[in-house]
Amino acid sequence: MTTLKKGDQAPQFSGVDQDGKSHQLADYTGKKLVVFFYPKASTPGCTAEACDLRDNFERFQANNYALLGVSADSAKAQAKFKDKYQLPFPLLADEDKSVINAFGVWGPKKFMGKEYNGIHRTTFVIDENGIIADVISEVKTKEHTNQILK
């Protein structure tokens, strides 16, 4: 789906999280950044993915990674998701899809025979210099940490 690949410069995104705080690529210079896109807060697959990342958050911190979740949900929905599952990382409420489109993860999907446009579950690992180090498009929600920290 996405046209971004390993070795590309990451998009200069800017978005607001569940608390209205702004996040942009420049905020993470000098850190590795995991930007994970998920279809909808509090759905089974998205919850499994977020909780796997939460349960391994110390491993990410020990390896100089920051995490940032992104979906098109409202700030209120993101805050509820973050609070309910005690997620230790920000969740961008990308209702205008500016970050989603910058990373190229919005497009046609099929579910139960219906076609519609939506977010393709994709994770980007960005290095300390803003270069994409990995693109994970076949996300295993319950083992996502191991896909990132391989």
- Would you call 51 a catalytic residue per the annotation? no
DSSP 26: G
Selected catalytic residue, list 35, 41, 46, 70:
46
CA distance 123 to 70: 10
- Residue 1 reports pLDDT greater than 80: no
Inform me whether the pLDDT recorded for 29 exceeds 90.
yes
Question: Which CATH number fits the domain 14-148, given the four candidates 3.30.470.160, 3.10.580.10, 3.40.30.10, 3.20.20.100?
Answer: 3.40.30.10
Residue 125 β-bridge partners: 34, 134
Percent of the chain with pLDDT over 70: 99
Per-residue pLDDT tens digits for 113-139: 999 999 999 999 999 999 999 999 999
Q: Is the pLDDT of residue 3 over 90?
A: no
Would you state the pLDDT for residue 68? 98
Largest pairwise CA distance in the chain: 44
Whether the predicted pLDDT of 40 surpasses 90: yes
Rounded Cα–Cα distance for residues 60 and 135 (Å): 17
Residue 2 predicted with pLDDT over 90: no
Using one digit for the tens of pLDDT, what is the confidence trace for 50-99?
999 999 999 999 999 999 999 999 999 999 999 999 999 999 999 999 99
Whole-number Å distance between alpha carbons of 14 and 23: 6
Q: The pTM is what? A: 0.95
Q: Where are the domains of the chain?
A: 14-148
pLDDT at 141: 95
**CA atoms of 48 and 56, how far apart (whole Å):** 12
Q: What is the average pLDDT across 30-59?
A: 97
